[in-house]
Structure 1
Amino acid sequence: MSAVEVVEEAIAAAERLDPVLHFLDELDAAAARAAAGRLQPDGLLAGVPFLIKSRTPPDAPLIARLVAAGAIPIGWSTRARPGAQSLTFGWNGADYTRNPWDLSRSPGGSTAGGAAAVAAGVVPLATGGDSGGSLRIPASFSGVIGFKGTHGRIPRPGGRPLGGLTTAGLIGADLDDVILATSIASGPHRLDPTALPPWPHRDVLEHPPTRNDRDKWSIGAQRTWRVAYRSTLGTCAAEVGVDAVVRERVARVGVELIDVPLELAPTDEAWGVLSDLDNGRGADAAAARRAREVRDFNNTALADLFAEVDALVTPTTLTVAHGYDQHEESIVTGDPCWVFNVTGHPAVSVPVGMSQGLPVGAQVVAPHGADDVALAVARRLLVELPLPPVH
């Protein structure tokens, strides 16, 4: 198919499904058609349509590098409404974003529209950022993949933030697509020269694997991974059904389950302080010191854990997707996620099954810099779900 044909299909799907799912902040069909018409088909993502998370800075290196590789943005996806009590929702200015698995449910957030559009098959990729689970939570609710690399994996237009919570990243329908797009976007940039080196090695980018040769993306394809499992990392427990789905999948895929003690300091206060620093609100010196102590304590505890195991697996969210109309409630579902924004570890969410007719995601976390390990274990756990009812 030509790029024009692919983009026309994506635009048609967006126009057909957005009135039902409300995932678009803005569709830019004219610009997408023009880009497809002048495309030179030699980039690694030549002709691939994608959505940009709304309010992403126009100079974001993630967007520029995807476009330079031939990907074509068709518009901007919804995110959480400013000032909302809970951020696991999407808002287009008039209505809340719906989950294609159940129109009474939210697709998660804050990268809500991107997750809904990917799950519904409108686009294969959507961009976002993850400060407290904003890629992983909607990926879990919507039955797709969300990847937050080690902090600094993808450069950001503001450079290194004071608090260091946010990592730019992607939501996708296919793990290999997410890996390839992350690889293309990685590496230092003039706007963020402190970003991590390009990932993975350039020879992998120059010779990407075919669909029949997927293991080239994954180290230790035949290795038995040592894995620790925790159903929760906070004071709130996972739903019984969610915990059972993830536990059963871990038990079935041939990993070595190891019981290793893990005691983490509570993240709530530290995350809030670091978020204030990231967003220019400032912080009390004593509170900033306590946040640093929590980060250091948890980094040490996780280093001790990873000395015994290759990866930590948790449910991505404590619940399946909640109602789209619960946006003014204080909802606790993403507790397993924001711990790793404070510490900066790589974390990926992949679908591993269903509970109550809705997707369940497993989160895989690996040591700093070991993004490939997190992805390799996630590949073992991944279950390919059918398309949702709305697609």
Structure 2
Amino acid sequence: MAALVLRREVSAVELVTAALARLEAVDARLRAFTRTWPERALESARAVDRSVARGARPPLAGVPIGVKAWARSQAAQTGRLERAGCVVLGSTSVPLGHTDWQTWGHTDRGPTVNPWRSDRTPGGSSAGSAAAVAAGIVPLATGSDGAGSLRIPAAWCGVVGLKPTNRRLPAADRAGLAALGAVTGTVRDAALHLSVMLDEDFGVPGGGRPVRAVWSASLGFAGVDAEQAAIARAAVGRLEEAGAITLRPRDVRLLNPEPVWRSLRAGEADPDARSVREANDEGLAALFGEAEVLLTPATPTPPHGHQGPGEAMTVDLTWAFNVSGHPAVSVPAGLSAAGLPVGLQAVAAHGGEALLLRVAAALEAVAPAPRPPL
């Protein structure tokens, strides 16, 4: 999109008009947006076209985006994307208040639905962002990830969700658990987003020597649905067959990070939680001394209904890396027998976002993600 605008083959106004038309066509059912600003979006698009006509070269010229509705935590990210040429269509849904696992997207019109099946949630808390990207309204929507809030909805909606290394991007979270990021339709767009946010060139991910990888279905403690694990493991096999990774046998046994996450969120000094954190930090340091990437299912369960997850811990495979700060990405791995997306999570050492993008791009190349029938 940006390349077309910069070559003046398509205007930013045309792109935004098309995105608003798609939003109008599907969001009555999807409920991905809490508010939209069409007039403001078109005026912003006209401003982008004027700047391009004067010779400006913003890297995301005219790209329509959604922004996660928690405005204060998203302000820095949104401002940077707008300066890069993005045009905000509106705010995407988040949970009402603070439900325990942040899996619902709330709007005044009802809950946000999963684009693949309306009786299922898209996950959260970046619920509307993932749904909007999966439905083809926007190619990118902002989010944040404090326990899996980018990776879980990306997995359940069949798109890409990257949590950078904690604190690489400023996030309004005193506990240090949350990281700003985005949901995108492709790995290349995830790389472009990160390039803009970090002012580094992540280029077009792909190629290079095989990456040393370790697989774990459960991290040693999580209860994981057998089908979720099997589909994610099959994706690992495709990466291995393509020569993108060399898989190393290794037993991965972390301790359940729940007490650590909760004590950090509450700002408490809990000796038991501190010992769990130290043990996991040591285990991950040893793992990344031997391998470059850890691969797991992105979620332990498939998307649940709007009544909630029941006893399932949807964050089991993600929140350890909010505590440890490691970068992690969910990339589509395939569809379940029920026709619902499954994500593969890749985790790397601190600062290893480029490596994650490379592995994710390799999977995308051998197993392109399908799109929901909207």
Q: Same fold (TM over 0.5)?
A: yes
- Which deviates more, 295-304 or 73-82? 295-304
Partner residue in 2 for 1:177: 189
Q: Is the 8 A contact 1:109 1:137 kept in 2?
A: yes
- Among candidates 325, 328, 347, match of residue 347 of structure 1: 328
Partner residue in 1 for 2:13: 4
Q: Is the 8 A contact 2:220 2:252 kept in 1?
A: no
The number of aligned residues is 352
Distance 1:59 1:87, change over 3 A: closer
Partner residue in 1 for 2:215: 229
| Structure 2 residue 176 is matched with structure 1 residue 164 | yes
For 1:387 and 1:262, the matched residues in 2 are separated by: 33
- Among candidates 70, 84, 94, match of residue 79 of structure 1: 94
Partner residue in 2 for 1:60: 75
Distance 1:124 1:308, change over 3 A: same
Residues 21-60 of structure 1 mapped to structure 2, 5 A cutoff: 21-39=30-48, 40-41=51-52, 42-57=57-72, 60=75
Q: Is the 8 A contact 2:116 2:373 kept in 1?
A: yes
Give how far 1:15 is off.
1.6
Q: Is the 8 A contact 1:85 1:327 kept in 2?
A: no
Residues 133-148 of structure 1 mapped to structure 2, 5 A cutoff: 133-148=148-163
Q: Is the 8 A contact 1:316 1:334 kept in 2?
A: no
Unaligned runs of 5+ in 2: 1-9
The AA in structure 1 aligned to 2:310 is E
The AA in structure 1 aligned to 2:263 is V
Distance 1:166 1:104, change over 3 A: same
Partner residue in 1 for 2:312: 331
| Structure 2 residue 278 is matched with structure 1 residue 269 | no
Unaligned runs of 5+ in 1: 187-197, 209-213, 278-282
Partner residue in 2 for 1:298: 280
Q: Is the 8 A contact 2:147 2:318 kept in 1?
A: yes
Q: Is the 8 A contact 1:260 1:308 kept in 2?
A: no
For 1:316 and 1:131, the matched residues in 2 are separated by: 15
The AA in structure 2 aligned to 1:364 is A
| Structure 2 residue 238 is matched with structure 1 residue 252 | yes
SS in 2 for 1:247: helix
Distance 1:268 1:129, change over 3 A: same
Alpha-carbon RMSD: 1.7
| Structure 2 residue 363 is matched with structure 1 residue 374 | no
SS in 2 for 1:361: strand
Partner residue in 2 for 1:15: 24
SS in 1 for 2:35: strand
Residues 204-243 of structure 1 mapped to structure 2, 5 A cutoff: 204=201, 214=204, 217-218=205-206, 221-233=207-219, 235-243=221-229
The AA in structure 2 aligned to 1:235 is F
The AA in structure 2 aligned to 1:146 is G
Residues 301-316 of structure 1 mapped to structure 2, 5 A cutoff: 301-316=283-298
The AA in structure 2 aligned to 1:126 is A
| Structure 2 residue 168 is matched with structure 1 residue 153 | yes
For 2:98 and 2:287, the matched residues in 1 are separated by: 37
Q: Is the 8 A contact 2:67 2:74 kept in 1?
A: no
| Structure 2 residue 301 is matched with structure 1 residue 319 | yes
SS in 2 for 1:169: strand
Distance 1:234 1:132, change over 3 A: farther
SS in 2 for 1:31: helix
Residues 97-116 of structure 1 mapped to structure 2, 5 A cutoff: 97-116=112-131
Q: Is the 8 A contact 1:50 1:71 kept in 2?
A: yes
1:72-114: CA deviation from partner (whole Å, max 9, x where unpaired): 1110000112143441121113411101111111111110001
For 1:135 and 1:173, the matched residues in 2 are separated by: 13
Q: Is the 8 A contact 1:86 1:331 kept in 2?
A: no
Partner residue in 1 for 2:5: none
SS in 2 for 1:140: helix
Give how far 1:246 is off.
1.2
Partner residue in 1 for 2:146: 131
For 2:151 and 2:74, the matched residues in 1 are separated by: 24
Q: Is the 8 A contact 2:156 2:302 kept in 1?
A: yes
Partner residue in 2 for 1:384: 368
For 2:118 and 2:69, the matched residues in 1 are separated by: 22
Give how far 1:234 is off.
5.5
TM-score, normalised to structure 2, is 0.90
Q: Is the 8 A contact 1:231 1:237 kept in 2?
A: no
For 1:350 and 1:80, the matched residues in 2 are separated by: 23
Give how far 1:224 is off.
1.5
Distance 1:223 1:58, change over 3 A: closer
Q: Is the 8 A contact 1:85 1:330 kept in 2?
A: no
Distance 1:86 1:182, change over 3 A: same
